A and B are shown apart, each in its own frame.
Chain A
Amino acid sequence: MSTIGSSNTGADWNAVLCSVADQDREAFAALFNHFAPRVKSYMLRLGSDNAMAEELVQESFSKVWRKAGQFDPGRASASTWIFSIARNMRIDVFRRENRPELDPNDPALVPDAPQAADAMVEQKQTAERIGSAIAELPEEQRQVVHLSFFEDKTHAEISDYLEIPLGTVKSRIRLAFARIKASLGEDYGEIQK
């Protein structure tokens, strides 16, 4: 499979993950070799020791295998989908709480406004634009976003950690989010809040 042999940055991980859904073990190995060391970093940052981080990586990727059929490249990129699985795994193990998630097939779900036919391409572009928007954030905004997503710190804990007021933490996160949304274009969200 040509996508697997290419460099990490060039690999089409969405396509690889779709192959995993078809029980393709070679695709799974490629996905694992790329993402598992990153998921391990994520778990280490969140305070697990080496053995626990290895365990969480194996559990997360067992989930990736079992749930790959639910991956929808029109809704999320592969890295986002794997992030969600790792995040839920740590909530389950560290916090011992359930993670309430919506069911995209629930008949009570209010559907999105009709999407363009090239939604799959759009999702890939979305991931790229978000990546460059994060890279271009002012350092003080990038830092609070990283602490919030990757160090399991609540906004109050970030305020203590950085010794800045809670209101400053919230405004930095809000500004960062506004920039990231702006990078996705003017039609973002369609309806204004």
Chain B
Amino acid sequence: MRIDHHPSEDILLAYAAGDLPESWSLLVATHIALCPVCRADVSTAEAIGGSLLADETPAVLSSDALAATLMRVQADDTAVEAESAAHDHATPPILPQPLRGYCGGDLDDLKWKALGRNAQHIPLVRGADGATARLLKIPAGQPVPTHGHNGLELTLVLQGSFVDGESRFGRGDVETADDAVEHQPVAEPGLDCICLAVTDAPLRFRSPFARLVQPLIGI
């Protein structure tokens, strides 16, 4: 698997700093499970946080802080968290963590909802910032309904692939579209294309039918 399209460095840094809201963070965390290059960048950015912490001027703690913490630990002594258990999947799941947890299982376990034409979706997160994360399924060979944006949209491919203009997006790739872009992604033949899509504003669909159903399906 070769990944050609990555999220911007800004987004990776904001994720490491803890400034990125949940919907976007879900996409970044899922991408870095598939992309060792961005995973290394996030580790480096977290090491910046570690280095700043090491250099932080110490604040004065209450004199009983350690004792109080040890009391908490003692009260809670059974709750030592082990490494996550080894999984017994014969083949690796298609959906990596943490996405699989948000979906309640892998692809076979999902309950899709209709989204216009043949497309289907599963809403996953609506963050405090208003951004939504959803799983999208576009049948192989079909176009995604034409849409522009009121804000930023990130789309991470999990299965299959799509082509948008000159660019091709396969498993692990992230397409970044802002409000300047009106695009026409088309799923390639083969497997149905399954993506994690995060948008920070309702999509503006172009077709009158899509505009009509947009309030009903809540995207």
Contact = CB atoms under 8 A, between A and B. Distances in A.
Given A75-B43, A148-B13, A37 B58 contact: yes
B47 A77 contact: yes
B69 A62 contact: yes
Contacts of A146: 52
Interface string A82-108: 111011101100011111111101111
Contact of A110 (B14, B34, B86): B34
Interface stretch (B25-33, B108-116, B211-219): B25-33
Nearest to A43: B59
B interface, by DSSP: helix, strand, loop or mixed? helix
A83 B66 contact: no
B60 interface: yes
Contacts of B10: 155, 170, 173-174
Interface residues of B, number: 75
B48 A66 contact: no
Contact of B40 (A57, A108, A188): A188
Contacts of A105: 83-84, 86-87
A173 B48 CA distance: 12
Contacts of A81: 50
24 contacts: A28-B70, A36-B61, A37-B59, A39-B53, A40-B59, A40-B61, A41-B57, A41-B59, A57-B65, A58-B65, A65-B80, A66-B79, A69-B80, A80-B53, A84-B49, A102-B32, A105-B84, A105-B86, A110-B35, A130-B48, A131-B51, A131-B54, A149-B18, A153-B19
